[in-house]
Structure 1
Amino acid sequence: MDEINEYEKIIEDLENKIKNLKEELEKNKKIKDEIYDKYLKLKNIFDKNNEYNKLLDELKIILLEINLKLKDIDDIKKRLYNLELKYDMIKKEIDEIRKELLKSIW
């Protein structure tokens, strides 16, 4: 009888260990799920960050292109200003020649 009691105790201990292991397994599954959720959130953040960085790079390129266009516009403005100055000088010269011609005719 003692032997049966001892086996029953061993069986009870084993059942308790199995129960404890199952509880531990459930806790670990929950922890794993929580960790996985956090991983997914972080991955999403990094993915968005990569997208954000790509957009920033594209914006930088666009800004560089705009700056080049603005520089071109500034160059054109300078040339136009120089042409206007030349035009004014030529106009003055023509006016002076006209005056001289008019004087010589009179």
Structure 2
Amino acid sequence: MEHIAISVIVPIYNTKPYLAECIESILAQKINVPIEVLLIDDGSTDGCGEVCDKYAARDERVRVIHQENQGLSAARNAGIDAAKGRYYSFIDSDDVVLPRFLQTLYDACEEHDAY
């Protein structure tokens, strides 16, 4: 099994207009270590769950957790419980990250022996 360096946890609730751009920005990261992307559908009613499932079907780095709406903290905790990475990154589902965001995060964590 491949060692996962970073688990990217994305809590999602009714952000469909922004979701694809967010996920695309994560999947397009210029990073030289393995990552996983955990999309936590927190009971969305606007079709976010279906968007998440489409990404999971086409990219093996993506996993989806569907749960009843429990709020942001519960969604983040569900991601933590499922995470396999050494480090965690939380990205909001209506945000877009720059191409080297995760590599910069990883390099800083390694340089400073974070845990």
| TM-score for the superposition, normalised by structure 1 | 0.17
Higher helix residue share: 1
Higher strand residue share: 2
| Larger RCO: 1 or 2 (CA < 8 Å, sep 6+) | 2
Bigger Rg over Cα: 1
